Chains A and B, each alone.
Chain A
């Protein structure tokens, strides 16, 4: 069946110098215009998010960013205002400026979206890698463990978490990381299982390459594509789960905004004003799109096969 491919495939991979690898990657990355655009958008968002947290000094960056509005200032007589010069994205039910809330919430949503992916990558990646690489009973135990983690109700875990640690912002990372590594672990394991059988890997093993080196040089770069896709999809998922968790008392406290929380709140008045959901939704989509481009660029840049 796969004989043709297997036999046709020629091992043709001379490992270049380490410095060259990263330099090459950067060169290739820069050539990818979409990836660069994505990176720029992300940097701008991070700057805006940080800027929104600056104290409100008159005439300072704050004023420029917020167009004289503050994210917590209520004007209940002006709820669900339509976009205007004063409120470019309108106001919410309590008359708070939506634009400044989106900017203010960016730091929370971006942090959660990104940091959680690193947690998932760390836990899921290493478990999947170990299971796939070592195989045998290690694989079996790790995979049965993931079956268990998949199956028990995470909502219960969250409730116990709230009871145990109270509404702490940091516990949200633990809660999210603990629950969402499972999918990635199985994905990485599947990749490793199939890559491990490829001739160039077998060849590397036969020439006595150490397991660590093998993983870093062969397994990681070759299983990168699906992992990057999974992590980019994890960003909006983490942003929305944060909202659900904050709703139940883990995470941010009212009146702090985050994109997820704004969408959740907006849902209650969706007939009255769909903009409440659409604007923060666009922010989430923009973030994900940027990371998709960066991710694609990164994968192409790091792909050993593209290096010629």
Chain B
């Protein structure tokens, strides 16, 4: 919730390229495991999940349960280059790219021992697209044949809903074969099948619970069974959820208990870790980074590594004066990102003036928006000659979603713009919901910081953000050339063609500056020295390395 970026938390697998960066606590497997009753891992996930129904989940703290209790057809490979089989053992794609046939892994079972069948996937895929369920992330699946009409279905009309759901291109010709038909060929669809929300669910359980399916209640352990590595063994509302190994799963976890706790306050989390009440934190408050690095004990328990999360500041391009590209560039070029990272964020993150983060295909560092006060002044002069007046500049407001860290950021920007350009920007704090609504309705001039974390490491997930009319961009920017390039990049069958198109689109985005790129984030968290076998990739989220890694983790004796 506090980061509020994309679905985040994506699947991930074994040690990837970036897992290597994990310093300190990562170790090779050894035989120094603690006895089973000591195999308890306590993890902070910040907030209690809203639902345990994977198809309706949307936040990281929900994926923390969904991802471990359920397993989708595929999952990303450790090096993030492709997907590999998970609940599906293999799949084929028809030559026209429209029909995807998945074979369910033989012996795949739910934690109650019943087999996972292809029709369970039909149930969950249809559930995601059922307008009466109103699952949050249906848009990923609108590429499925028949699903593009989602917007036109009246959720109050039962007959219309039934016709729509029955007409979806998902089917189970036999118990082990799941077939998806697409509207048009899309090379990135493989990633969609790896999203944790597209996991099999038992129709009998959905039918029995009705509208209450997935409710976060103490009896959830008996009501929800998944096919993932863990099962929910205990649920104390508002306090914690305990996961235990799923005896039916193909690899047995060493950890006997994973406690998911809800500590929202960063200082509390930090205190709990130091007091030995928490094994993995979500982060470290940035003012404390120097303290942690200077502490002989804590510094050995730091885990840091890159993440596919990029932060930027939105400009409202629909109104003067920020409809002027040169002014936007001037504002962007006058921010000293190196100083921001080094002094304000205490070294967490990398200054970024690029869109696609380091670690993903398409990463191209660029100097277009680089800090350069002289160039910024020149851009401002250009903007002024094009009609931007001082009176307009005096009306600029920087809006941020109330939090201490963002306040410091706002004050830093304010000073930078004042120093370099002599522009006085007024700073407004607003509450999160108001902030979100103001961004969405273009009721602001400068807003920040917004970020995006990869749902999956494919350009489509990123470049679609800035397409005309996309709900995920708040700058109101519209550029025909960009739209065309992105469409080409999304749909071209050859990867090389996609890369070329995306690359051109990225350059255009940086030059047009509907947003000011700020920094690529970095995971900086604490993990107790007794926790071993922890690996993570750049795609991984805060807590433990998602699907596969918990099974490789253990508590050392």
Contacts and interface: CB of A to CB of B under 8 A. Distances in A.
Interface of A: 72, 74, 76-77, 79-80, 93-95, 159, 162-163, 167, 246-249, 253-255, 264-265, 267-273
Contacts of B407: 254, 265
Interface string B268-298: 0010000000000000010110110000000
B431 interface: yes
B53 to A, nearest CB: 30
Contacts of A272: 285, 287-288, 290-291
A265 B404 contact: yes
Given A159-B431, A249-B431, A271 B288 contact: yes
A71 to B, nearest CB: 12
A79 B290 CA distance: 11
Which bucket holds chain B's interface residue count?
A: 20 to 34
B427 A253 contact: yes
B408 A93 contact: yes
A248 B427 contact: no
Nearest to A96: B411
A247 B270 contact: no
Interface in B361-418: 402, 404-405, 407-408, 410-412, 414-415
A246 B407 CA distance: 11
B369 to A, nearest CB: 20
Given A246-B429, A254-B414, A255-B414, A159 B434 contact: yes
A269 B430 CA distance: 22
A110 B408 CA distance: 24
Contact of B429 (A95, A254, A270): A254
Contacts of A159: 431, 434
Given A76-B344, A80-B287, A271-B287, 15 more contacts: A74-B415, A76-B339, A79-B343, A93-B408, A162-B430, A163-B434, A167-B429, A248-B431, A254-B410, A265-B408, A268-B404, A268-B405, A269-B288, A271-B291, A272-B288
A248 B430 contact: yes
A23 B266 CA distance: 56
29 contacts: A72-B415, A76-B339, A77-B343, A80-B287, A94-B415, A162-B430, A162-B434, A246-B429, A247-B402, A248-B429, A248-B430, A248-B431, A249-B430, A253-B426, A253-B428, A254-B407, A254-B410, A254-B427, A255-B415, A265-B407, A265-B408, A267-B404, A268-B266, A268-B285, A268-B405, A269-B285, A270-B267, A271-B267, A271-B285
Interface of B: 266-267, 270, 285, 287-288, 290-291, 339, 343-344, 402, 404-405, 407-408, 410-412, 414-415, 426-431, 434
A273 B414 contact: no
Contacts of B287: 80, 93, 268-269, 271-273
Nearest to B289: A272
B403 to A, nearest CB: 9
Nearest to B431: A248
B411 A94 contact: yes
A249 B404 contact: no
Contacts of A270: 267
Contacts of B415: 72, 74, 94, 255
In the complex, which of the residues A80, A247, A267, A271 has the most CB atoms of chain B within 10 Å of its own CB atom? A271
Nearest to B400: A254
A264 B343 contact: no
A249 B428 contact: yes
B288 A94 contact: no
B429 A249 contact: yes
Given A270-B267, A271-B270, A94 B344 contact: yes
A249 B402 contact: yes
A255 B428 CA distance: 10
B28 to A, nearest CB: 33
A301 B427 CA distance: 47
Nearest to A245: B429
B279 to A, nearest CB: 19
Contacts of A265: 404, 407-408
Given A159-B434, A269-B288, A273-B287, A254 B343 contact: no
Nearest to B336: A76
Nearest to A276: B287
A72 B411 CA distance: 9
Contact of B408 (A72, A94, A273): A94
A117 B291 CA distance: 41
A33 B267 CA distance: 43
Given A267-B267, A272-B288, A93 B430 contact: no
A297 B410 CA distance: 45
A162 B414 contact: no
A210 B271 CA distance: 63
Nearest to B285: A268
A74 B344 CA distance: 11
A42 to B, nearest CB: 30
A254 B411 contact: yes
Contacts of B426: 253
Given A255-B411, A264-B404, A271-B270, A247 B429 contact: yes
A16 B408 CA distance: 59
Nearest to A75: B343
Nearest to A163: B434
Contact of A76 (B285, B412, B427, B430): B412
Contacts of B266: 268
Contacts of A162: 430-431, 434
A78 to B, nearest CB: 9
Contact of B412 (A94, A167, A271): A94
B126 to A, nearest CB: 38
A201 B435 CA distance: 57
Most buried by B among A94, A265, A272: A272
Nearest to A255: B411
Contacts of B270: 271
Contacts of B428: 167, 249, 253
A267 B407 CA distance: 13
Nearest to B271: A271
A48 B431 CA distance: 33
A241 to B, nearest CB: 15
B375 to A, nearest CB: 22
B429 A253 contact: yes
A150 B508 CA distance: 56
B194 to A, nearest CB: 37
Contacts of B339: 76-77
A273 B339 CA distance: 21
B344 to A, nearest CB: 6
B38 to A, nearest CB: 29
B373 to A, nearest CB: 16
A248 B267 CA distance: 20
B434 A255 contact: no
Contacts of B410: 254
A174 B456 CA distance: 49
B285 to A, nearest CB: 6
- Closest 9 pairs (CB-CB, A-B): A269-B287, A268-B404, A76-B343, A272-B287, A254-B427, A255-B411, A249-B429, A249-B430, A271-B288
Nearest to A253: B427
Contacts of A254: 407, 410-411, 414, 427, 429
A268 B405 CA distance: 8
A306 B287 CA distance: 55
A34 B137 CA distance: 66
A162 B430 CA distance: 8
A74 B285 CA distance: 21
Contacts of A267: 267, 404
Nearest to A250: B429
Q: Which of A163, A248, A269 has the most CB of B within 10 A?
A: A269
A76 B430 CA distance: 25
Nearest to A247: B402
B267 to A, nearest CB: 6
